[in-house]
Amino acid sequence: MSGYYGNKMITLIDELSRLPGIGNKTAQRLAFHIISMPQERVQELANSMIEAKVSINHCQRCCTITDTNLCPICQDEKRIQNQIMIVEGSRDMATYEKTQEFKGLYHILHGAISPLMGVGPSDIKIKELLTRLQTENIEEIILATNPNIEGEATAMYISKLVKPLGIKTTRIAHGVPVGTDLEYVDEVTLSRALQGRQEI
């Protein structure tokens, strides 16, 4: 159907529609927008992709995605240096940063243990975490992996590894999300909320 636009346009639509969440219609809309942009802007967009791809690496300390050796958080000496929050991905870190509640450091696993998907402990950044625990003076690790099967399994696995080191290990609280009606909350969450009840 897009054959009328010529081969270059078909290639562009095809490339765009391979991106996640971009269907053929959206790809067409984006392609038409791109060819209507000034050429410098198209060049800037294309360059930003290549430059990001080429320059991005993992922070040498926390393994987050960054374009410097150490990410801005690991470089920041004002962060609490003996607390590490362990998350599955760099975006989880960014999400937690938005809360402005956590002042410690992070460690990004880049995944979670999932035997079903063939992801074992050696496929995520657990070795790097253990190296940090041995070289840095860490007093607490906070397990903030996702509250699903893989995230829970990963948290359990890490907590067992860390226990012999005598480092305090905590897990973020499960409970009722703020702002919802109880009737919409599933039973597992409700029972977790009950187990985790705190005196007020």
Judged by beta carbon, residue 30 or residue 172, the one nearer a copy of itself is: 30
Cross-strand pairs, 142: 85, 170
Report the b/e string of 133-159 with b at 16+ CB within 10 A: beeeebeebbbbbbbeebbbbbbebbb
Nearest to 63 by CA among 41, 92, 43: 92
Report the b/e string of 86-106 with b at 16+ CB within 10 A: bbbbbebbeebeeeeebebbb
Judged by beta carbon, residue 46 or residue 190, the one nearer a copy of itself is: 46
Residues that bind a copy of itself (CB under 8 A): 1-9, 11-12, 14-16, 19-22, 26, 28-35, 37, 39, 42-56, 64-68, 71-73, 90-91, 93-94, 97-98
DSSP strand E in 53-200: where? 57-58, 65-66, 83-87, 105-108, 140-143, 168-171
Kindly state the smallest distance separating residue 18's Cβ from a copy of itself, in Å.
Answer: 8
Contact 107, 125 (CB under 8 A): yes
Kindly state the smallest distance separating residue 9's Cβ from a copy of itself, in Å.
Answer: 5
Judged by beta carbon, residue 124 or residue 162, the one nearer a copy of itself is: 124
Q: How far apart are CA 121 and CA 112, in angstroms?
A: 8
Kindly state the smallest distance separating residue 194's Cβ from a copy of itself, in Å.
Answer: 33
Judged by beta carbon, residue 98 or residue 197, the one nearer a copy of itself is: 98
Judged by beta carbon, residue 46 or residue 194, the one nearer a copy of itself is: 46
Kindly state the smallest distance separating residue 177's Cβ from a copy of itself, in Å.
Answer: 18
Kindly state the smallest distance separating residue 3's Cβ from a copy of itself, in Å.
Answer: 6
